[in-house]
């Protein structure tokens, strides 16, 4: 085992040297990691790849907690062919300030605000990348964590529950100086994840739309849809968020555990966005669509329950999945959100392993309105 470790270290050093970088160029980082699916968080010190000619280093100010962080670190996505690699440092909602730039960087300067969303690299030349859909890179997207970075010797990418990150300038998002930095980080996942299908389906003023699931994703969707002038109905399982939905502009709130509130909604909606992260039956929402209506699914249940046979009786309605958004679309979403004052509602917590563990339990139990954000300046 010792010889194997020495061999791998030697390979890493040789590969780094071939790129004109040495181990001493790597960036020291402090963060929080899990070492097994049934683990809790632990302080974790590691190094990131050196700042290359086209890279920037961001000192992380805030990192959002996404429900998909839980699925990934708890290794709950095996049905989708995804497996956790430990240690894992989650976090793909990252906002901070640029502290170093490579010599070829033109998009950023030291001191700028910058963000990182769900991915940190892609090939740049396949059909998907050329269409600004880097999340579907045909040669393999490098996601922000729990993803082998083939552009840096295959090392496992580590996420934003940490004090810094190194990323290509092409995968960093410019954050306007006027942005509310405490609330901007979740836009880089929750924002674009809901923005993208709304615009893909060309939702417009006056459309009757539904948002299924009123958590971190759902409350962002409601804000974008109301801003477009759509008539918004919110679906959820609790009474606790009814007033919040009305405050954000929804015209109707449906508690799906109450059969009376579900009456009269079949064949009603032009568009429904499902953000539900738990197991459910999508057919109920498909039946609510008008003919030609669209159901977009962005939530990530750990198991699929879609009844294909029932779909045959709900003909000429469309169902599609949507995965985050490309870099161009993410920048457009962020600029629009800041300009129009559209932000998530957040609870700020300290960068402490026990606070993160507690936040994760609340997210898992559905006891958060609406997004936790870690203040990384408090890391010790």
What residues contact 134, with CB distance under 8 A and at least 6 apart? 119, 122, 124, 128, 141, 171, 326, 327
Q: Is pLDDT of 332 > 60?
A: yes
Q: Is pLDDT of 74 > 50?
A: yes
CB 290 within 8 A of CB 270: yes
Q: What is the pTM of this model?
A: 0.89
- Confidence at residue 17, expressed as pLDDT on a 0 to 100 scale: 38
Q: How does pLDDT run across 98-142, given as a tens digit for each residue?
A: 999 999 999 999 999 999 999 999 999 999 999 999 999 999 999
pLDDT, mean over the chain = 91
What residues contact 1, with CB distance under 8 A and at least 6 apart? none
- Confidence at residue 8, expressed as pLDDT on a 0 to 100 scale: 33
Q: Is pLDDT of 308 > 80?
A: no
Q: How many CB atoms lie within 10 A of CB 99?
A: 16
Name the pLDDT band for 20 (thresholds 50, 70, 90): low
Query: Across residues 216-234, what is the average pLDDT?
Result: 97
Specify whether domain 19-188+326-335+344-378 bears CATH 3.40.50.2000.
no
Q: Bigger pLDDT: 146 or 6?
A: 146
Name the pLDDT band for 24 (thresholds 50, 70, 90): confident
Name the pLDDT band for 50 (thresholds 50, 70, 90): very high
Name the pLDDT band for 368 (thresholds 50, 70, 90): confident
Query: Across residues 267-291, what is the average pLDDT?
Result: 93
- Sort residue 116 into left (φ over 0), alpha (ψ -120 to 50) or beta: beta
Q: Is pLDDT of 26 > 90?
A: yes
Q: Are strands 289-297 and 318-321 parallel, antiparallel or unpaired?
A: parallel
Per CATH, the homologous superfamily of domain 190-321 is NAD(P)-binding Rossmann-like Domain (3.40.50.720)
CB 91 within 8 A of CB 160: yes
- Confidence at residue 55, expressed as pLDDT on a 0 to 100 scale: 98
DSSP at 162: B
Q: Where are the alpha helices (DSSP H) in the chain?
A: 2-18, 67-73, 127-130, 181-184, 190-200, 218-228, 242-247, 259-262, 283-287, 308-311, 327-340, 353-365
- Confidence at residue 300, expressed as pLDDT on a 0 to 100 scale: 79
Q: What are the extents of the domains in the chain?
A: 19-188+326-335+344-378, 190-321
Q: How does pLDDT run across 339-356, given as a tens digit for each residue?
A: 999 999 999 999 999 999
User: CA 212 → CA 70, 167, 229, 284, distances in Å?
Assistant: 20, 34, 18, 11
Burial of 94 (0-12, 13-18, 19+ CB in 10 A): buried
Q: How does pLDDT run across 289-300, given as a tens digit for each residue?
A: 999 999 999 997
* Token pair listed for 107: 């998009």
Q: To the nearest whole percent, how much of the chain has pLDDT over 90?
A: 82
**Concatenated DSSP letters for 204-253?**
-TT-EEEEE--STTHHHHHHHHHHHT-EEEEEES-STTHHHHHHTT-SEE
Q: How does pLDDT run across 353-363, given as a tens digit for each residue?
A: 999 999 999 99
**Concatenated DSSP letters for 96-145?**
EEEEEE-TT--S--TT-EEEE-SEEE--S-SHHHHTT-GGG-TT--EESS
Q: How many CB atoms lie within 10 A of CB 336?
A: 15
């Amino acid at each position: 085992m010792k010889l194997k470790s020495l061999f791998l270290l030697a390979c890493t050093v040789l590969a780094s040297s071939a790129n004109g970088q040495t181990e001493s160029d790597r960036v020291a980082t402090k963060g929080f990691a899990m070492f097994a699916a049934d683990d809790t968080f632990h302080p974790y010190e590691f190094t990131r790849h050196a700042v290359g000619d086209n890279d920037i280093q961001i000192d992380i100010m805030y990192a959002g907690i996404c429900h998909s962080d839980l699925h990934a670190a708890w290794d709950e996505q095996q049905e989708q062919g995804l497996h956790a690699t430990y240690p894992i440092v989650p976090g793909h909602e990252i906002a901070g300030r640029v502290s170093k730039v490579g010599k070829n960087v033109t998009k950023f300067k030291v001191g700028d605000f910058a963000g990182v969303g769900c991915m940190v690299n892609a090939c740049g030349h396949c059909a998907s990348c050329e269409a600004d859909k880097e999340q579907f890179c045909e040669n393999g997207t490098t996601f922000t964590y729990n993803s082998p970075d083939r552009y840096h010797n295959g090392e496992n990418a580590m996420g934003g529950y940490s004090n810094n990150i190194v990323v290509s300038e092409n995968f960093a998002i410019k954050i306007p100086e006027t942005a509310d930095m405490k609330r901007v980080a979740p836009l880089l996942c929750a924002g674009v994840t809901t923005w993208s299908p709304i615009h893909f389906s060309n939702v417009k003023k006056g459309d009757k739309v539904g948002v299924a699931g009123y958590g971190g994703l759902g409350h962002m969707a409601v804000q974008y849809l109301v801003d477009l002038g759509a008539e918004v109905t919110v679906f959820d399982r609790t009474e606790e968020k009814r007033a919040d939905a009305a405050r954000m502009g929804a015209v109707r709130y449906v508690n799906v555990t109450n059969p009376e509130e579900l009456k009269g909604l079949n064949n009603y909606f032009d568009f429904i966005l499902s953000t539900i992260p738990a197991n459910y039956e999508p057919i109920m929402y498909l039946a609510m669509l008008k003919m030609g209506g669209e159901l977009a699914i962005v939530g990530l249940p750990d198991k699929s329950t879609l009844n294909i046979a029932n779909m045959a009786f709900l003909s000429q309605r469309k169902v599609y999945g949507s995965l985050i958004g490309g870099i161009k679309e993410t920048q457009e979403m962020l600029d629009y959100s800041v300009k129009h004052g559209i932000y998530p509602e957040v609870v700020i917590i300290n960068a402490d392993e026990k606070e993160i563990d507690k936040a994760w339990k609340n997210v898992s139990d559905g006891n958060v309105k609406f997004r936790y954000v870690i203040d990384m300046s408090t890391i010790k």
